[in-house]
Amino acid sequence: MRIADLLDREALGLSVVWGPASLLERDVHGSYIVDLPNPGRFLSAGDLVLTSALWHTGMDSTRTFVSALAAKKVAVLVIGRIVIGEIPDHFAEVCREYGIVLLTLREDVSFKSVTQYIDSTLADPDAQASSRSLVVGRRLLDSLGSGAGVQAALRLMLDEFGVESWVIESNGVLSALAGGAPGAEEIARVWNRMLPERAGVAVVETDPRGSRTAWPVLTDGEQPLGYLVCAGDHRSWSADLSRVVGTLLVVVRVELELAASRRRADEAQAGDLVDLLVADALSPGEASARLRLLGSDPLEPVTVVAASVDDEVYPARAVLEAVAAMLEGVGTNVVGAEYGTEAVLFVSGAAVTPESLIATATRAAGPHEPLLGPRRMRLGVSERTLSVSQLGAAVESARSRMRAAAGENTMVWATRSTPVSSDALLELLPEQVRTRFATGLLAPLIDYDARHGSDLVETLRVFLDAGASWQSAAASLHVHVNTLRYRVGRIEALTQRDVGRMADRVDLYLALTCLPTTGGKA
């Protein structure tokens, strides 16, 4: 039974001291009368606790008592007023802090009357068995076991309670519904509202067309699997309907987990290919074999597309599936995978050009733009590869162009890179090339520092950042100029470079920039 059900029973004489409507929907699973100062060890989750507050000596005693209730997930506290008289204001303050509903009862109603009613109601098996929520809940779980799927579960809730509902997956795609179909703008609005939510709490949205309640479908991962959306404000629902929705969330979670598991298995090969190409750990023969496994002909040219959205909350899954849908029909095969916050896709086909690819994707972009809202999607397109040995460079090129893409449109494409700084120029090089250049040039300094406990690498960095000014660099390092001259001499001897020559300074500076272990770009 709910707290609200107890309040509705006038004979119990219960009234609210503090408790928002949402908390009055909590279920009560039992009752306990206690006047111990710290009763935690005797309580259970969902209990209704009755007390005369004989333990009360002030704010500290109230906090001790209520915190013990909160630790046991007690549903509600009832204060009798025969001993304490008027309930002090700080009772409500502490209960609000710990999220415990606070009730009181009329002086002509005994604690025993309340506990007997609760215990007899909960113990009545006939009443429990006839509960509508239990019957519908069992049917929902049966539909899960039979493989009927989420669609059947939503239809059952519509038939039994008249509540329209739908499920949005984590990528923003509507995957099931019962009742009227929401428009693309409505789906996008609810999905974007729910994206930051990581707690399993209901979120109510109201507009001129009415209210809807949405719940994130949570699992062990950081990102929700999707969202269950029901028409109406859940705070006004009956206890039966609230329980059914709780069971429905379980059904939706199981189904979305199964779908996510199948999807991960299907995309694992594409993800491995991206990882290995970025790490430059794939021979041409291995690359050919992996392309075949993905359904692509390794003899066909491949164009790589990289995409990301300028919002860390926006799921890479949504980016990947939107771009894949936009590229449907381009070339002979389109496969892709998530790579961190990015999506990387391989488009096979001899007739595919960056221009034709972008034109097709742009024509198909309309249905996907509402999900972006005010955000911008950046997309980079590589040149067509002439052989599988160029795949790694094509991935790096597409990712570089994506990062450099600029414009005011919702989707910004880049097919060429125009670097305007040394950092941007280095970004055009594959990660492994930058790392090899840096470690190749600076290895003698790194080894020397490791053997002698010195810091020649940092000395070089400070010296170059100071524009090769001896006085300025020495001051930054808090050493004498002669000490700095000695260190720079060691650097020149170990690297075989002359810091007096601009070309050598540039080489050393770029190597420091590319060095991963010192915060350079890699």
- What are the tokens at 222? 């950081």
pTM: 0.58
Would the pLDDT of 182 be above 60?
A: yes
Determine the distance from the C-alpha atom of residue 437 to the mean position of all C-alpha atoms in its chain, rounded to a whole number.
Answer: 36
Most confident of 88-102, 149-163, 225-239, 318-332: 88-102
Q: What is the mean pLDDT of residues 251-255?
A: 90
Would the pLDDT of 430 be above 70?
A: no
Would the pLDDT of 295 be above 60?
A: yes
3-state SS, residue 379: strand
- Domains of the chain, residue spans: 3-127, 131-258, 282-418, 431-518
Rounded to 5°, angle at Cα 217 from 216 and 223: 80
pLDDT tens digits, residue range 159-181?
Answer: 888 899 999 998 899 999 999 88
Q: What is the mean pLDDT of residues 206-233?
A: 86
Q: What is the mean pLDDT of residues 195-222?
A: 82
CA–CA dist 43, 68 (Å, integer) = 9
Amino acid at 447: D
Would the pLDDT of 386 be above 80?
A: yes
Same CATH fold, 131-258 and 3-127? Answer: no
Give the start-end residues of each E strand in 86-161: 101-105
Instruction: Identify the pLDDT of residue 145.
Output: 65
Mean pLDDT score across all residues of the chain? 88
Determine the distance from the C-alpha atom of residue 149 to the mean position of all C-alpha atoms in its chain, rounded to a whole number.
Answer: 25
Would the pLDDT of 424 be above 70?
A: no
pLDDT tens digits, residue range 328-348?
Answer: 888 889 999 999 999 999 999
CA–CA dist 40, 72 (Å, integer) = 7
Which option is the CATH number for 131-258: 1.10.4010.10, 1.10.287.130, 3.40.30.10, 3.30.450.40? 3.30.450.40
CB contact at 8 A, 365 and 348: no
Which option is the CATH number for 431-518: 3.90.1300.10, 1.20.1440.230, 3.40.50.300, 1.10.10.2840? 1.10.10.2840
Closest CA to 273 of 341, 348, 339, 354: 339
- What are the tokens at 322? 């939107």
CA–CA dist 165, 176 (Å, integer) = 8
CA–CA dist 236, 70 (Å, integer) = 25
Would the pLDDT of 88 be above 50?
A: yes
3-state SS, residue 425: helix
Domain 282-418, CATH class in plain words: alpha beta
- DSSP lists the bridge partners of residue 411 as 377
How many alpha carbons lie under 13 Å from residue 248 in its C-beta half-sphere? 34
Which uninterrupted H or E stretch holds 345?
A: strand 342-348
- What are the tokens at 447? 């080894």
CATH number for the segment(s) 3-127: 3.40.1390.20
Q: What is the mean pLDDT of residues 236-262?
A: 86
3-state SS, residue 153: helix
- What are the tokens at 182? 């929401």
CB contact at 8 A, 265 and 240: no
Instruction: Identify the pLDDT of residue 124.
Output: 66
Would the pLDDT of 522 be above 70?
A: no
CB contact at 8 A, 395 and 277: yes
Q: CA-based Rg of the chain, rounded to a whole angstrom?
A: 33
More confident residue, 456 or 242: 456
pLDDT tens digits, residue range 124-164?
Answer: 654 544 455 676 777 787 776 666 788 888 998 888 888 99
Would the pLDDT of 120 be above 80?
A: yes
